[in-house]
Every structure is written in structure tokens, then in C-alpha cells.
Amino acid sequence: MADEQKIESLLAQMTLEEKIGQMTQVRHFDDITPEDIKTWFIGSIIHTQGPTPGTDAAGWQAKFVELQKIALSTRLGIPMFFGVDAVHGQNTYSGATIFPHNIGLGAAANAELVEQTAAITAVEARATGFNWVFSPCVAIPYNEKWGRVYEAFSESTDITTKLAAASVRGHQGQPVSLIATAKHFIGDGATDFGVEGGNTTLSYEEVLERLLPPYRAAVEAGVGSVMASFNSLNGVPMHAHRKLITEVLKGSLKFDGIVVSDWKAYSRFGGTDVINAGVDVVMAVEGDFNMYVEGVRQGVVSGVIPQERIDDAVRRVLRQKFRIGLFDNPFPDVTLIPKIGVQAHRDVARQAVRESLVLLKNENIILPLQKDTRLVVVGEFADNSGFQSGGWTINWQGTTENYAGATTILEAIRKKAATRVLYDKDGQGVDGDAEVAVIVVGETPYAEFMGDIGGPMNKYQLTLTEEHQKLVDQYTAKGIKTVVLLISGRPLVVTKQIEQADAFIAAWFPGSEGDGIAEVLFGDYDFKGKLPHSWPTSEDDYTGKYGPNFWDDRVKPLFPIGFGLTYTNPRSSKNT
């Protein structure tokens, strides 16, 4: 029997409660008990911040097998999805390969490489028991104050579209082994003043022209799910935007997969309006579960939610479960466990780091470094893999400590150098007879909401911290040649530091493979990265709702999108 026939056969047998269960996603540690899976016919589980399923990958798989068996013991035996925010590798698992965040991959702009990184992420996600990943983010950020800029590839629609399709192909593979998620639909990166979950005031025509193409490309690549966005579009919450979700995404684009909500969307964006807009699966978390299940049931009984809307949602869920073979193979593949963090995966991540680096300045051709150059490496960011990896690494907001399997920038430089490398962690001026100081500065890890500049947390800024500015001041004042490495999730206002330094590199959040940075610093490989965003000159660039952008000539950037020097072309650059 063809899958569509099987879907209709199952649908015809299902009670309303069983259908709502398939539309429900919960956290297994916080929202429900294992018995609730059977009672409420739960269709999917998300793992995120909080207790881990086990102490190692085998333990994670064992927990998901246990939960899956409960789902299979229900009347119709429909298996569950297990979802995870694997946005730059299987980043919830210590020991996995952690790739540069998407902004770095946008600087590399190498579709084949993006496809490889996504395929590896899929393998390591499956090895830890997951069959649904909430990646890639295909937002197009227009204001660096937004705390999720690094999750997106570029401010360029063309770059984002190309890499979105590549990421979907890589994640899902052939045959499809898990489903990917294009997110967040739509306008999340283009909110006024870069506010997370704020209002996007682009016109409807601008949304279709600038922001929709990556979703079209993802749908054409066969993406299994699309996640709705927290933002509003001209005052209408996207989770309740029927015109864009149902008429455009499901209608015009012919998307036949799952539209999944973001966190607690049911209670935040209008309850049954979310379902009627076209959302198929709801993250009913943090107290939303009972309200959601009962609200949808009452909505159907009262006629507020049409029965065909429920059937459409469940049909889409079942379609993706059949598509990845979940009914035939509902359990994790234990043979994948040894592939987590293997050298072949790390080699690809190291290549991604190398190609993501953007050389903004190389005065007097100080780079590449000679291996016998007497070096001092400066700053705590140089020897901390948590700092160099950013948010969504081990924890939701990232980690400020080293984690398993990662190589720090300092470790990588010491492996490459032929002479002793000094380390000045706190800027105490421990330079000895150093000829060159490699100064590593940047942003501490953050994720959504917390990373907004000027937002409620007010923890981050568009400039370097005073402490990091002093590191650069201190070493440039000594007369030592200086190479500044900027670890950040977005372009920052570092005009003064670029002027001070002999060489300046935008390294983004490179992830676990610090070796990729050392290989380029010492000239084993040339720079390839080009700016995926226009680079700001000053904080005054952000007086309007957006920062400098290639399509808006009212604000002249310090460097245009596409800028990036190389060793072979040290004083000019082509735009991509």
C-alpha cells in the first residue's frame, strides 16, 4: 500500500484525542511523565535545555527506545519523533563535532561544504537518538542588535537561498533519514531595531521578494518541516498569519510537510488562532500542555477549528513519519554511535573554520605568521572552547568552559608553532621577547533574547567590552606587531581596533576546531571568507530600524558585504 493510502487508512481510524496527540510536542523531562505518552498519544518530544537523557550516546538512545516503546504500545502504534535544536552540529551533546555557526558558513558561501556539515550533523544527531532537527535557520538579518544574527547565513537573499537548499539536502540525505526544519517563518531577522520577537514592518511585497526565496528553495529541496516565527508582520503574529502560512507556504509554495510552532506559541499567540492559521504541531511546553490539548479539543467540538484543519495537520505529521521510514524502523541506530566526533567529521569542521575566516586588514603583510615567530597569545577567549563556540553549544545559552573533544585557539597555535608560545590570559603584559601578539577578543556566548543589544537583559553591546579594548590598547602601545582575532556572532563596531591592529580577522563563532584558525594564520591555507554582512563603522549606523545593508545606501558601511582580503590578493577583494 502506498504511503498516502496508509496515511488515509490510519486517519480514518483515529479518534480526535489521538489526532491531537500527533499534533503535540512536549519535553519528556518537564512536561509529561512516560505514562502520559500512552494516555495522550504524544506524537513528538523535544530535547532542549535541562537534564540529558543519559550519560553517553548509548544512554541517550536507550532512553528514547524506552519512550518509543510506550508510543508503540498504544492502540494504533504510531511512533514518535524526537527533535533537537542541532543548529551547528549536534550541539546538545558534549563530544559531538561543533561547526561554525551559520554566519561563518555564510562567509564561506560554499554550498557543497554546507551540505557536508549538515550531513554530519544529521549522522551525529541520529547517533544520539534524534530523527528531527530544528535547522537550518534561514532568517535574513538586517540589524546586528538582534541576538540571533549568527544563526543565519547572511543578509543576502541570494547567499541565504543557495545555502538553505544545501543545508536541507545535507540534513535529510537520500534516502531521507530525518527531517530538517527551515526557520523561522517569516521575518524574524528583519524586525524593527533587531528586537527578538518584535514587529517586522517590511511591506508584504518586500517579504515575498527578500525573505521568501530561501523558504521556496528549502521546499523545493524537500524540507520536512518549517517552524513559525515569534515575530509579528505589520502587527499580525506570524503564528496566527493564515495568509502566509496556509495560502503562501502551503498553497503557493506547495509545502506538504509539517508547520511546527516555536516555544509556547499556543498560549502566546492566540490559542486556536494558531491552529487555524495552519500550524500543525505545537510545542506545548512549560505549562501549556493541558491548556493546549483541551483548547484544541473544545475548538473542534465547538466548530471553531474545522475538522479538516485537524486532519490536514495529522496527515502532514504521518506523511513525514512514513517518509523517514519511522514505522518500519522506529528505534535509533546503535551502529552510528562510534561516528560521533570522529576525525573525518572534525576534518570537515576544520575546513569550514578555515573557509569562514575573513581577513579585514593585513598591514605590511604581517600574515601569514612564520612558524618560528616568537608569539604571545592574549586573552581568555584564546583558550576556551566554550567562548569560541557561542550559544547553542552544550547549553541553550552556550558554555563558558571547555567541552569534550574541542581544540582551543591557543592549543592549535601551539601545535603549529616551532617555538615556545607565551600566553597572557588576563592582559598582564606577559610578552617576553615576543615579536607578534595574537589578541583574541569578542562576545561571550548568548542565544535568542539574551543576546539582543539594548533588550531587557542589556548584557551585550555593539562594541568590544572595556576589558577587551584594553587588551588591544595595551599591546599596540608596546610597539609589538598585533593580530586581532574577533570571536563574535555578528559584525561589531571595532573601527578603532581595526585601525590599531596590524592585522584583523573576523572569526565569528568557529566551534570546536581551533586548528582551522591556526592553519590559516600560519599560511598552510589562504583566506577564503568574504563578509556575509555589511560591516558597521559606528554605533550611529543603528539610529534607524536597520543597520548598514547592501540594499540600503543611506548608511555607508566600513566594509561592504563580500569584502575579504587574501594572501594572494592582499589589498583588494571581490564581492561575492
Q: Quick check: 119 pLDDT over 90?
A: yes
Question: Does the pLDDT of residue 469 top 70, yes or no?
Answer: yes
| CATH classification for the domain delimited by 3-332, as one of 3.20.20.70, 3.30.1370.60, 3.20.20.300, 3.40.710.10 | 3.20.20.300
Is the pLDDT assigned to residue 31 strictly greater than 90? no
| Range in 30-44, 322-336, 463-477 with the lowest mean pLDDT | 30-44
pLDDT in tens, 281-329: 999 999 999 999 999 999 999 999 999 999 999 999 999 999 999 999 9
pLDDT band for 575, please (50, 70, 90 cuts).
very low
SS3 assignment, position 512: coil
Say whether pLDDT at 453 is over 60.
Answer: yes
Amino acid 230: pLDDT: 98
Q: Residue 556: how many CB atoms within 10 A of its CB? A: 10
SS3 sequence of 83-102? EECCCCCCCCCCCCCCCCCH
Q: Residue 348 corresponds to which amino acid? A: V
190-205 average pLDDT score: 97
Which cell numbers in the block locate residue 28?
Answer: 519528556
Catalytic residue among 144, 151, 188, 262, which? Answer: 262
Q: Is the pLDDT of residue 436 over 70?
A: yes
CA 555 – CA 493 distance, rounded (Å): 14
The predicted model gives 363-392 an average pLDDT of 97
Q: What is the pLDDT of residue 16?
A: 98
Query: Is 537's pLDDT higher than 80?
Result: yes
pTM beyond cutoff 0.95: yes
**Within a 13 Å sphere around the CA of 46, how many CA atoms are in the beta-carbon half?**
21
Which of these ranges, 17-31, 271-285, 432-446, has the smallest mean pLDDT?
A: 17-31
Q: Over the stretch 354-372, which tens digit does the pLDDT of each residue have? A: 999 999 999 989 999 999 9
Tell me if residue 448 is catalytic.
yes
Assess whether pLDDT exceeds 60 at residue 573.
no
Specify which residues 483 forms β-bridges with: 438, 503
For the chain, what is the mean pLDDT? 96
**pLDDT exceeds 90 at position 576:** no
pLDDT for 572 beyond 60: no
What pLDDT is recorded for position 257? 98
Where residue 485 falls among pLDDT bands split at 50, 70, 90? very high
Position with higher pLDDT, 571 vs 443: 443
* Residue tagged active-site, from 124, 151, 431, 448: 448
Kindly report the CATH class assigned to 343-542: alpha beta
Residue 30: is its pLDDT beyond 80?
A: no
The answer to whether residue 218 scores a pLDDT higher than 50 is yes
For residues 557, 105, 112, 548, the Cα torsion angle rounded to the nearest 10 degrees is: -20
Model confidence band, residue 49 (pLDDT cutoffs 50, 70, 90): confident
Q: In this predicted structure, what is the pLDDT of residue 1?
A: 55
The pLDDT of residue 559: 97
DSSP string, 420-448: -EEEETT-----TT-SEEEEEEEPPP--T
pLDDT band at 574 (very low <50, low <70, confident <90, very high): very low
* Alpha-carbon dihedral angle through residues 44, 50, 55, 60, given to the nearest 10 degrees: 10
Is 30 catalytic? The answer is no
Q: Is residue 200 within 8 Å of residue 231, measured between CB atoms?
A: yes
Assigned C-alpha cell, 356: 569562514
Length of the chain: 576
pLDDT in tens, 136-156: 999 999 999 999 999 999 999
Asked whether the predicted pLDDT for residue 124 surpasses 80, the reply is yes
Domain map (residue ranges) of the chain: 3-332, 343-542
Amino acid at 275: I
Contact 25, 130 (CB under 8 A): no
